[in-house]
Each structure stands twice: as structure tokens, then as C-alpha cells.
Structure 1
Amino acid sequence: MSTHHQDKATFLERLIFNNRPAVIVICLLVSIFLFWQALQVRPSTSFEKMIPLQHPFIQKMIEHRNDLANLGNTVRISVEAVDGDIFTKEYMETLRQIHDEVFYISGVDRSGLKSLWSPSVRWTEVTEEGFAGGEVIPQTYDGSPASLEDLRNNVLKSGQIGRLVANNFKSSIIDVPLLESYPDPNDQGKLMKLDYRQFSHELEEKIRDKYQAQNPNVKVHIVGFAKKVGDLIDGLIMVVMFFGIAFLITLVLLYWFTWCIRSTIAVLSTTLVAVIWQLGLMHTVGFGLDPYSMLVPFLIFAIGISHGVQKINGIALQSSDADNALTAARRTFRQLFLPGMIAILADAVGFITLLIIDIGVIRELAIGASIGVAVIVFTNLILLPVAISYVGISKKAIERSKKDAVREHPFWRLLSNFAHPVVAPISVVIALIAFGGGLWYSQNLKIGDLDQGAPELRPDSRYNQDNNFIINNYSTSSDVLVVMVKTAAEGCSTHETLAPVDELMWKMENTPGVQSAISMVTVSKQVIKGMNEGNLKWETLSRNQDVLNNSISRAEGLYNSDCSLAPVLVFLNDHKAETLTRVVTAVQEFAETHDKDGLQFLLAAGNAGIEAATNEVIAQAELTILILVYICVAIMCLITFRSIAATLCIVLPLVLTSVLGNALMAWLGIGVKVATLPVIALGVGIGVDYGIYIYSRLESFLRAGLPLQEAYYQTLRSTGKAVLFTGLCLAIGVATWMFSAIKFQADMGLMLTFMLLWNMFGALWLLPALARFLIKPEKLAGKVGGSLLAH
């Protein structure tokens, strides 16, 4: 390089380019180590990572976890008799074998396992001599017609119809409570964490596949959090295929953009290195890949390609009048390192704001994405220019770049009209109308799930078909909200406690969306009626304490050991956002008027209670995160360009994209939840890159004294091509997600595609229109300082 160029070189540039072999060797050694670490990354998640542990509902659930038997992480296996009913020797034998098989699967809480074959499932009846009862399947059962008839009678007297036994007697359920961690069979002193994917596979192989093949008259249906997560992880293994498709699409488009195979391979290689580093570092700090953080490698690849394209575009332009590839690479590094660094910092800050959400999977996603964009500084801002300084750019690409530098570009000339004094006001008016319309329609945006079953999966998925079967055949759905009634010790059986509980149950059963409710009151009334010859007039709560004590003695599992906590189980039609809000509000209103010293109605346990808590956390964090993201991005732009006007030009198009994105979610019926909230923040983080690159070049041409429209035309010639290409390339790659079997991944793909395209379009269309009103070119002309990006 000439002395002139050496004088302008920064310390960082001299440090990197004067020690290129060392940079290559260090990156190679780090890549080998982190590649080895990345190979050890496994899909993993846990029940506690998916819930907001600091929410009052969850705190109360954890506080009373030992008193709430089988109301947490549970799987339900429904065994259906395809022809006939459950009262056949073959069916009952198959059910027994399945019960025994499930008992020995690792992670099952064996003490709480329940089916018709469980000794704890009993029947009770009133006779002339008093109460009679016993196990639903007695020790004398032998499969004979007489014992099967006794079984039918026992089931009818057990109160399990609609709960463990279907209303039409064609299926029965095995309730399978799970342990988050359990003793290692090979080392009792060591605890093992529940592997959801392995557990799901064992259910498929040892239960569904085995027994459906063994008995064609049996069909197995499985629902529950662990099964849903297992199916999600299996579906997300297809991410590798989508990543491969995105890689090939990017390869083709990059070559079409550069006409240079060397620079294409260089960009893709350094971006893949960034993905490997991110995965390796995630494993190094102890994180795995859960269903939600699996999109992070895609994001890192997308952001890396975005910055890589800018570098290659810059080096191609500089190669036109540079002596060699090293000179072109150094000039490009000097020109684009700072705007690239600012864009990456803006990305990272945007991702870090997700840490305020108290949900483990979102926090891990935020940390993983932040690590990934930090890695891009080394791979795409440093390693890529160094690599290109060795391999160079093909003569064909350089000749093409030279021709582009001197010829007129009709397309860019047309787009430069966005900065025209007549077109700019029209663009701003259109943007304001779109903003107002989007803001109005986004009022329909809901928090939480909007569909039955598992909205993360397709409606026709096997899990959702199984869930529909259980909803249609049982009175107690898999969506359970548990209200914890807390009293002083031995206080849960008093009339002063049971009477308000009875009122709460009546209120719940008359709340839309509720199927039924049960508690110790349900058992108490049944027993009191039985003690009075089954007379329906006596199906009420007695004020005699001895009668009450006797009546609740059979309510096993519906109060704790010292009778200080009694759960009310509210079975819901679904866990849609509106249903949960309606039910939670009803309980809270009841608690406000009935809570007193020694009696509290506490929310909430059960999967519906957890879902309600998650929805509240998302609702509280949604606006906060968006505001924080924009504040952080605005501060970064303000520090960089030292101009409020410049900051507005970059940030306002992003705001429009966010508003239109919310409106799109409302229109498509996509709720704001754990899966979709990160996309809103990530879309802003990725989108700011376009605006920063465009404005930094526009400002340099304005400082050279060019009028706004001409300056914008020159900006489009130099940077606009890279921005347009990047937006289209990334959108096409992410759009492949829309074909995923996992619905939430398809939703993410749709939203990210929309946000990538709109952020690109906003930067190309709205930024120059805003600049027409906010930027004063005459004040910038001839100025050298004022911006950190001025060179």
C-alpha cells in the first residue's frame, strides 16, 4: 500500500492485515476446537425452562408442588378398543401390559401412575349394611365373562367414567406423571435429567407401535407436555434439511451476484464458521438446542451473509482501482468495519433485551443469538477480508464491477426517485396511512394460543388428532387449571372452607369454556348422599364436622397430608387465550371477595395455569421489549451518526415494519407467545443492518456535496445492490420454513420473511423520503467530522 494509505490505516487495521497468517491460524485453531464442541450439541429442553419461574402462579405451584400430586408434568395414554368396548379379556390384558411397560420407562413417577389396573383406583357403593368398596379390578379377576361383568359394574360405581374411562366405554386412560430428574439406574447417587426426545421415542416404540401391531383391535393415543416437546424436537430435526436448502439457494444467488466462485465460497465458508462457532460456544457454556433456539443458527447464517455480501460488494468496487487484492480488502475493511460493527452491536442489543422475559427458552435464545452476532465480528468483518486478501476476486468480477462503476443504471436511477421532492411526500403519506391502518388492525392481535391442542404443531398432526380424540371422548380434558385452597392445618375439611369451595366450583362450571370442576367437595357430597340411602336431597355439605370428616376420608389426592391445602381441578375445553383469561379473571374476582384470614384461593397449577402465567408474562413484556429494542437501536444510531435526523431515517422504517408485522399476525390468527415474541425483536435487530449501510453511504456522498437525489443514486449503485440482494436472498432462504411440519416454525418463517423483505423495502423506499424532510444536505456538504463513520 502507498504511504498515504498506510497513514490513514487505523491501529486495528494494521494489527489485522500486518499479521494475516496469525489471524488465519488463530481462526483455524478456534474453529477446530469449536467444531468439536458443536458436534456434541444435542436437542434438549426441560419443563422448567418452558415456564416463567418467577411468576406468582408458578411460585405458588412450586411452593406446593409436593401437595399437588400428578398435577404438573403428566402424559395421558388413551388405549382405544377399535371394535367393541373395553370389557373384553383381550383389551384388559393389553391394557395391563401397557400399564406394566410404562411403569418401567425411565422418568416415570411410578408412585403416581394410574389406570384401571392401579390398586388405588377403587369403587364405592352404599348398601343396606353401609358402604362397600374395593379395587376396580379385584384380585379375583381372571378375564372370564363373570369377572368382566363385575368389572363393568365396578367401573360404573367408581366415578371414573369421563376421567379414566371414556364416556362411550370404548377406551380408557393411563395417567403417567413424570419426574424432571430421576436416579440413574446404573448409579443411584447420580441424577439424570428427563430426555424428552428419548422419552417420546420410547412411548412410540414400546407402547404405540408395539401394542398396535400386537393387537389390531387396539389404537393408542398419547398427549401431554413431554410428548408434544418430543414431537417438536423430531420435527425440528428437519431444520438441517431447511438449512441445507437455504445454503444451496444462497450459493446460487451469491454466485449470480458476484460472478466469482472464490468470493462466493469465501462468504459461505466464513458464515458457516460463524454458525459453527456459535453452536460450539453454546455447548461450551452448557446450553443445548431446544425447539425454540433452533432458529438461532439460521439467524446467524442470515446476518453473516448480510455482512459478507456488503464486504464482497465493497472489495469488488475497490478492486477497480486498487493495485492488488490486499489493498482492496484493506480499503473495504477501513470503509465498512465501523458501520458493520455498529449494525452488529444493534443486533446484539436487540437480542439481549429478550433477557427481561422470565422464560428459560427465550433467555437461552437471546444469549445464543447474542453470542452468534458477536462471533460475526471475527468471522465476517475480520476473517473474510483477510481471506479475500489472499484469494482475491476473479478478473471477470472486477471487469463487471468496473463497467458498473461507469455505466448508467436505469433501475437504480428509477429507485432514486424515492428521494425526489415530489415523490418523497407521497411516500411519507402512504407510510403514515399504512402505519395507521396497521396500528388499528393490530388491536385484534391476541396473546397466547388461538387453537385447541398444540398450536405449535399442524392441526392434522398425530398429536393434535390424539388430543381431539380425548376431548371428544372424555369429560375431563387435558387442559386443567388448578386453584389451590389454602387453610390452616386441619382447616380444609371445615364447613367454613368447603362452603366457599362449593361456591367456587359452581361459579367455574358456569363460566364459558369450562367442562367441569372437581374437589374434595365433590367426594364429600357423594359420600353424604350415600350415607343417607342415596337420597339426592342429601347431596349437600353437612354442618356437622364429624359427618364432614367422615365424608372426605375417601377424597384421596384432593387434599394434602395435614389438610392445609385442597386443590380445585377445573377442566377446560381448550387453552385458548380467551378461555384462560376468562377463567383466571373469574377465579381472581372470587378470591377478592372470599379470601380471609385462614382461607386463601391461590392461582394456579396445572398445564392451563402454567399457560395462563406464560401469557401474562408475554403480555407484560411484549411492548416493553419492543420499546427497549428501539431505544437501544436508536441510541446506537445516535452515537454513530451524531444526528437525530439520521437516527429517525433509520429507525422509522423499522417501526412501520413492526406495526405491519403485528397486523399480519392478527390477520393470520397467529398469537403472541413464546414462539413468536422473539421474532418481533429479532426482526428489528436484523432489519437495522440495511438502514445503517444505506445511510452511511448516503451521508458520505452528501458530504461530498452531491444533491440528495444524486447522492441516493450513487448510494444505490454502491450499496443498494447488496441490500436488495441480501433481503431477497435471506427471505427466500427463510421462506423454506413455511413448509415445515412444525406450525410454529412455519409461522416464524412467514413472519421473518415478511420482516426481512419489509425492512429491506423500508430502507430502500422510506429512508430517502424521510431524508428529504429531515436531512439538510447543505449542512453536511464539505464537512469531514460529525459522524463516527466519516472517513
Structure 2
Amino acid sequence: MNDTPVQVSRRIEFFWRHRRLVLAIVMVGAVLSALSATNIKTHVILSDLFPQDHPYLALHKRFSQVFGGGGTSLVIALRARQGDIFNLPMLGKIRDLTREIELWDEIYRVQTVSIASNATKVVKTKARGEIAFEALMFPDIPENEAEIQLLRKNIFSNPAYDGTLVSRDGSAALVLTEMRETVSYERIFHKLQDVVRRYSDENTSVHIVGFPMLMGWIYSHKPQLYQVFAISVLLMAALLYLSFRNLVGMVVPAAMSAICTAFGLGFIAWTGINFSPLQFVLAFLVVSRMLSNAVQITHRYIEEYRASSSKETAAKRTMQAMSIPNAAAVATDVAGFLVLGIADIRLMKQVAILMSFWMLTILIEGTVVPLLCSLLSLKTRQPSGGQRRDRSTWLVRLSRFSMTVGRYPITIVALAIAAYGFWQVSKLKVGDPTPGSPILWERHPYNQDQVFFNQNFRASSETFSLYFDGAPESVYDPAVLMTFELFSQHMAQSLPDIYMSSSSLANLMKMLNCTFHEGDPVWYEVPRDREKLTGMMALLRSSAGMAGLQRYVDPEQSRAQITLFFADHTSDNLKRIRDAAYAFFQNHPLKTETGEFRLAGGRIGMEIALNEEMKKTHLLLDSLVLAAIFCMCALSFRSLVAGAMLSLPLVLSNLIAFGYMAYAGIGLTTATLPCSAVGVGVGVDFAIYLYSRAREEYPNTRDYTETILKAVRTAGLGIFLTALTLILPILSWYPLSALKFQAQMGLLLAILLFSNMVMAFTIHPLLLSWIRPRFLRSQEASRISVAETLAREN
């Protein structure tokens, strides 16, 4: 950017003289990169999605070794289409499914539970007053109607199972399990789909929710995702044909995009960094940006060629004219991605590294595009003046209107949009604003299954864990059990609309206490007498055995957990759960004589940690994106005023983006935040092209108004075509995509890019005419063209 005209001219001359060698090197590099792209890993890795340095995630690492991760819970329901589950065929299916899942390598067996598992106990009285814990329905199912009715009684008389393992109306039963964090979601999805096929029939339906199933659904939509991208590419090709109507305009931008894409994919493979499917939308944005930049450069080459009828002159002039806007645009795009690395989330750091390099490959377009254009034939016929005006007159009129009679209405409209944006931004949620998965449409089977579970059960995949960590055998301290029970009661009273149930040692103690009082449900509670509780704990340890307790305590009996089930993990409810949990310990001690309680684990604990990190990061990230754009633009144009003029209007586009997100119910997540932040950086490129052309034209006109209008007349059409090739293909995602996330991000990015394009022809001409910045005319005195420099040297 700081090279002298002589240096620039020599570099351009070198590239032209050795153009075949330059293109050969680029093509060989692209081919080698494309070949290595087959080694790219495309997995969803759970640990990459959360801030691993957060205290909740540190707790998750420690206790997941004992109780499972909590973040990979899976809930499977077998539902009788007619009647209930209390018949031999349905009970046999529940037993068979439980046995099958317990044998999977991908699960934590101790966390697998159903009415057919050995860990599901019932308290029974025997001869001579003996009390024992026995399996509810293990190893075999009932053999006759009397045993079936006894099973029904044991389930519905026990609050720990009624509505939790069996639905309230008895029509469905659950199998709950926990997947290992290293599981392949694609492989486990095929297993689960096989379960659905084998266990579904005219009498039975299967419903599955949980993070592994959600990720599996996303994997299953990859072919459709590629189809949507393919349709977008075809739209781009059609737009290129309609825009240029020549071979150069169609082939060169497409070829250049393919070359840069090959370099980007090759880099991803070379680094070995996982390329998550959640990043595919961003990747397509980068590819679209490559195409749009190539379109802008190609448009300038065609303009120069028709003015000179010389491929050499056109190529050299294009390389000279586009060097600064190309470098400035790439710098702002790369800066937008790089700042994502400040988030303490591995996925965001990976996005920062991979996408920054990928975007950096656009730098070569400033040289390679003109050289590629020179290889193809192009008609030298110059469009008539009337034809040229027909294609750009409306843009000139719009800009003229913005600088004259429309300056006040446009200012008022901009301020009104900003005010509305501020109002909507106040409603923007961090995290998921709606129940179910925001990645999928509401009508998707996964979200429909989520509704089914919430309507019929008091258990879900949305778990929240309170842990106890102490000395060996400290978990049998009555204070631990009483705290677990009181905590559950507090959460149920504080959050009656979303609390579902809890699971801990306290459940077994309540069953035992109820049995001691002849099955009277009034006594289904943890004994409050410490001595009595201690005696019952001893009985529990001796009769239940570790197989029945390992879901709740570790083998050393130094760690224990209580798991609470909630209806969803929406952002508002996560705050309520966190606040209610901490409110409990304002009145109860965190420590006992033998250990202490620790918050918070489970899927909800991980989501709370993520939301806290996102809330801390997103304002800083957006500010840094704008600051980075300001610095890059100021350096490119060597003017702080230019930096301010280019970056301040982005605040308006940011407000528009966040306003739309709030209006559409899109939360700030690790998937949406990069799109909204980077989309702003991509949008500023339109204004950079306009400013660069205006600075180039000023020495010829020496009049600000005429300079601005001439810049719009020449570069405006290229800006419009560039925006069109970006906006329309991305906009097509909304009606086509099976993923709600992709559709919404397509609409969001289209809104961002459209608003920046409109501002390039309204707000920016208005600012240029009002401020009349010196950086436009600062080049006049020192301006020496490439041709003049070469002539002087010769």
C-alpha cells in the first residue's frame, strides 16, 4: 500500500512479462491444494463449541469421568400408538432396546436407564420384615397379567418413575443414556435411525432427542446443504452471464473463485484443523466474496480494454487501479475474521485461523484476474453512450438525489432506522431464544419430538447437575442428601413452569422411607431426623449395591450428583435456572464438614457457560471488527477521515443486522455471531470500491460533485453487479434450505449486503459531498500513472 509509483509499475511490468509463469505457478498450487482437500475432517466436536476455561467446563471435565458428560444426553421414547405400554409386546421392545443400547461402545453404561435396566430399583418387603431393593423389570419382563399389573402399580405409585421413565398416561416409556464426548455423530445417527426403523411399526412409534441426535440430523442434511450451495452457484453463473454477456465475464470470475477455494481448502487440510459443518455457511460466504471481488476486477478490465483495445494496457491499468481497493477490501475482510479469535471458544478460534487465510487468498486476484482476462478474446465494440447510460443512469440519479434534494430525507430515514435498530437490539438474546433447536425448522421431526417429550414426560435431555465433592465415603453424610433434596424442592418451587423432575440418591431414600411407613405416599420424603437418615443410608448401602448407585456416586463414594431435568435451555430460562441455583446457596452452606457442593454441570451448565462467554465477547468483538475496519481503511487511504467515513456507516448496518435478528428471534450463538460480524466487514467493500474510484477520478474533474457522480457512473455498475452476485444466491437459501439456521443466515447476510450496497449509492455520496475530504484530492499533486513512470524510465 505504501509502494511508490515506480515500484508499482515495475511489479506490474514483471507480472505481465512473466504472466504465463505466474499463471502456471498459481494453477499448480491450486491443483495440489485441491488434491489435499480430500483429507479435510468435517466433524462436530463437542469440546470445540464451549469455553473450556470456564469454571463450569472445568467442573464438567472432572465429573464427566465418573457420571458422564451431561452435554451428550440422549432420550429415546417408545410410544404405543393405541392403548398403553403395559402389554407383553411393548414391554419386550423396551427390554430389547435397553439391552441393545447398553452394549453400544459409544455410551456410558452406568448412565443408561429405563424401566428394564438393573439400575431401576423398587423397594420390597420380604419375610420376617426384611426390606430389599430389587430391579423393577430386570432381567425379564412380566410373564402374565398379574405381574403386568404389579409392574404398573410399582411405576405409578412411585413419583421417581411416574412421568419420568413412563409417561403420565402410560402410553410411552423412556430409555435415557449418555454418549461419550468422542462419539461420531454421523455414525451414531445411523445407529439411531436403524433403531427407529426396527422398532417402529403399526403399533409403535420411536422418538429421540438430545445433542447427538441433533448433530446427526445436521449431518444427514449435508447432501441437501450441498444442493442448495450448487443452486446458489448456478444462480451466480446465470447472473454473470446476464451481467457481462461475454466469455471473459463468465469464465474468469468463476475460475478465480475455484482457484482461491482450492487454496483455502488445501490450507484447511494442511493444518489438520477440524472443519465443522457449522462453518459451511461462512465458507460459502468466503467463496461468494471471492467471486464478487473477481467480478469487480473483471468489470474494470473490460472497461479498460474497450477504452484502449489493448490487452496489455487493459491488464496493466486494471492491476494498477485495483491494487489499493483490492488490498483494502481484503484487509477489512481478514480483520473481520481475525478478531473472532478473541472468543475463548475453540470453534471461533478455528474460524479466525481458517477463514482469515482463505480470505487472504483473494489478494492474488488483483494480479491473476487481469492476466486471466488477457488470455481470452473480447469484443472491442464499445457500447453506445445511450446503452451505457441505460445501465448506470439510475444509480447516478440515486446518488445525485442523495447529494441534493434527498440529503435531508435520507438523513432522517437513516436516523429512524438507527433508532429502530437500537430498540430492537435491546431485545436481542444471547443464546437460543426459543425451545427446541434453532438450527432446524419448527416442523422438523427433531423439534416435533421435543414437543412430544415436554408434553408427556417429566424428563428430558436438558439436564442440570449439582455436584458434591468430598472425602471418601462422605457422600453418605446426611447433610449431603438433605441438601440435594432441599435444592430440588427449591428449584421446583422457583421454576414451576420449566422444572420437570430430579434424580439422585434422595429418590432411593424416599422410596425406602415410604416403604417403612407401609407405602403411605405422605412419607415419600427424605427423613429429617439425622439419626434415622443415617440408619437408612446404611441399609441402602448394604442392600442396593453399587450397580444401583453408580449413577449417583463414584466408587470411592467421595463424589455425588443430583440431576435436574428442565423443559428447555432458552436464554431467558438459563438465566432463571442460574439465578435460582445461586439463590439457594445464599441460604444454605456450600461446604459441609467433609466436602463442598459445586455448580453447575449437565447440558444446561455448559449452555450457561457458553452464554456467559458470548455475552462477554460479542460487544467487544463487534467493536473490534469496526475498529479493525477503521484502521485498515485509514491505512489504505492514508487518511483517518477516510477510515471514519467508511467505518461509521457500518454501525447502521450492524443495527439493521441485530435488529433483524431480534425481530426474527435469532439469538447470538457460536454459529450466528461470526456471520453477523463478518457480514459487516464484507459489506464495506462496496464503499471502498467507490472511494477508490472517486480518488482516481478527482484529478480529471477537480470538482467533488462531478467526481462522485463519475465514480458512480463508472464503478457503480460494477458495485451493483458485485452485490447482485452475492445477494441473490445467498437469498435463495431461505426458501430452499432444510436447515433453519442456513436459511436465516442467508437472509441476514442478504440484508446486510443489500443495506451496504444501498448506502454505497446514498449515504456515502452524501458524506463525500458534505465533508469534501482532502484524501480525494491528496493524490493529485503526486499522481503519476504507470504509463508516465515507464515513459520517464525509458
TM-score of the two chains, using structure 2 as the length reference: 0.91
Counterpart residue type for residue 224 of structure 1: G
SS of equivalent to 1:492? helix
SS of equivalent to 1:39? helix
Alignment correspondent of 1:502: 485
Alignment correspondent of 2:455: 472
Alignment of 1:372-771 (within 5 A): 372-378=358-364, 380-396=365-381, 399-400=382-383, 410-418=393-401, 420-512=403-495, 513-534=498-519, 536=522, 539=525, 540-544=527-531, 546-547=534-535, 549-550=537-538, 553=541, 554=544, 556=549, 557-598=551-592, 600-739=596-735, 740-771=737-768
Separation (CA, whole Å) in 2 of partners of 1:788 and 1:569? 73
Separation (CA, whole Å) in 2 of partners of 1:583 and 1:458? 26
511-520 or 471-480, larger mean C-alpha shift:
511-520
Alignment correspondent of 2:297: 311
Separation (CA, whole Å) in 1 of partners of 2:406 and 2:53? 52
Q: Give how far 1:692 is off.
A: 1.0
Alignment correspondent of 2:192: 203
Separation (CA, whole Å) in 2 of partners of 1:106 and 1:18? 62
SS of equivalent to 1:85? coil
Alignment correspondent of 2:9: 10
1:86-115 superposed Cα distances (whole Å, 9 cap, x missing partner): 122212222333334434545233454333
Q: Give how far 1:419 is off.
A: 5.3
| 1:177 matched to 2:175 | no
C-alpha contact 1:661 1:751 (8 A) present in aligned 2: yes
Separation (CA, whole Å) in 2 of partners of 1:689 and 1:416? 18
Counterpart residue type for residue 290 of structure 2: G
Alignment of 1:778-789 (within 5 A): 780=777, 783-785=780-782
C-alpha contact 1:529 1:538 (8 A) present in aligned 2: yes
125-134 or 71-80, larger mean C-alpha shift:
125-134
238-247 or 531-540, larger mean C-alpha shift:
531-540
Q: Give how far 1:63 is off.
A: 1.8
C-alpha contact 1:428 1:769 (8 A) present in aligned 2: no
Separation (CA, whole Å) in 2 of partners of 1:120 and 1:419? 73
C-alpha contact 2:468 2:559 (8 A) present in aligned 1: yes
Q: Give how far 1:595 is off.
A: 4.1
1:554-582 superposed Cα distances (whole Å, 9 cap, x missing partner): 57222333343332322212111111101
SS of equivalent to 2:684? helix
SS of equivalent to 2:485? helix
Q: Give how far 1:392 is off.
A: 4.0
C-alpha contact 1:124 1:157 (8 A) present in aligned 2: no
Counterpart residue type for residue 165 of structure 1: V
1:624-643 superposed Cα distances (whole Å, 9 cap, x missing partner): 10001011110111111122
Separation (CA, whole Å) in 1 of partners of 2:777 and 2:402? 17
1:386-436 superposed Cα distances (whole Å, 9 cap, x missing partner): 11122143335xx22887679995323312315535433443333223212
C-alpha contact 1:315 1:332 (8 A) present in aligned 2: yes
Separation (CA, whole Å) in 1 of partners of 2:74 and 2:286? 35
Counterpart residue type for residue 633 of structure 2: C
Alignment of 1:265-344 (within 5 A): 265-344=251-330
C-alpha contact 1:527 1:551 (8 A) present in aligned 2: no
1:2-33 superposed Cα distances (whole Å, 9 cap, x missing partner): xxx99674343233222212122212222222
Alignment correspondent of 2:113: 114
Q: Give how far 1:298 is off.
A: 1.2
143-152 or 304-313, larger mean C-alpha shift:
143-152
Q: Give how far 1:779 is off.
A: 8.3
SS of equivalent to 2:578? helix
Separation (CA, whole Å) in 2 of partners of 1:131 and 1:269? 78
Counterpart residue type for residue 487 of structure 2: L
Alignment correspondent of 1:185: none
C-alpha contact 1:200 1:230 (8 A) present in aligned 2: yes
Q: Give how far 1:698 is off.
A: 1.5
Counterpart residue type for residue 197 of structure 1: E
Q: Give how far 1:327 is off.
A: 2.0
Counterpart residue type for residue 195 of structure 1: S
Q: Give how far 1:532 is off.
A: 4.1
1:581-602 superposed Cα distances (whole Å, 9 cap, x missing partner): 0110121233345345545442
Counterpart residue type for residue 90 of structure 1: P
- The number of residues matched between the two structures is 769
778-787 or 93-102, larger mean C-alpha shift:
778-787
Return closer, same or farther for 1:578/1:401 CA change in 2, 3 Å cut-off.
farther
Alignment of 1:122-271 (within 5 A): 122-126=121-125, 129-139=129-139, 141=141, 143-156=143-156, 159-181=160-182, 194-204=183-193, 206-212=194-200, 215-271=201-257
Separation (CA, whole Å) in 2 of partners of 1:387 and 1:169? 70
Q: Give how far 1:645 is off.
A: 2.0
Return closer, same or farther for 1:70/1:646 CA change in 2, 3 Å cut-off.
closer
Structural RMSD (CA)? 2.9
Alignment of 1:12-27 (within 5 A): 12-27=11-26
Separation (CA, whole Å) in 2 of partners of 1:534 and 1:631? 69
Alignment correspondent of 1:189: none
Counterpart residue type for residue 604 of structure 1: A
Return closer, same or farther for 1:558/1:283 CA change in 2, 3 Å cut-off.
same
82-91 or 138-147, larger mean C-alpha shift:
138-147
Counterpart residue type for residue 696 of structure 1: S
Runs of 4+ residues over 6 Å off in structure 1: 401-408, 786-791
109-118 or 443-452, larger mean C-alpha shift:
109-118
SS of equivalent to 1:477? coil
Counterpart residue type for residue 382 of structure 1: T
SS of equivalent to 2:760? helix
C-alpha contact 2:209 2:450 (8 A) present in aligned 1: yes
Identify the structure with bigger relative contact order (alpha carbons < 8 Å, sequence gap 6+): 2
Q: Give how far 1:252 is off.
A: 1.6
SS of equivalent to 1:475? coil
Separation (CA, whole Å) in 2 of partners of 1:417 and 1:486? 71
Counterpart residue type for residue 416 of structure 2: I
Counterpart residue type for residue 476 of structure 1: A
Q: Give how far 1:655 is off.
A: 1.0
Alignment correspondent of 2:792: none
C-alpha contact 1:105 1:202 (8 A) present in aligned 2: no
Q: Give how far 1:614 is off.
A: 1.3
Separation (CA, whole Å) in 2 of partners of 1:778 and 1:569? 64
Separation (CA, whole Å) in 2 of partners of 1:609 and 1:559? 19
Separation (CA, whole Å) in 2 of partners of 1:139 and 1:405? 83
Q: Give how far 1:525 is off.
A: 3.6
Alignment correspondent of 2:80: 81
416-425 or 299-308, larger mean C-alpha shift:
416-425
Return closer, same or farther for 1:356/1:337 CA change in 2, 3 Å cut-off.
same
C-alpha contact 2:112 2:177 (8 A) present in aligned 1: yes
Counterpart residue type for residue 771 of structure 1: L
Q: Give how far 1:224 is off.
A: 1.1
Alignment correspondent of 1:63: 62
Q: Give how far 1:647 is off.
A: 1.6
547-556 or 615-624, larger mean C-alpha shift:
547-556
338-347 or 317-326, larger mean C-alpha shift:
317-326
C-alpha contact 1:163 1:475 (8 A) present in aligned 2: yes
Unmatched 5+ residue regions in structure 1? 182-193
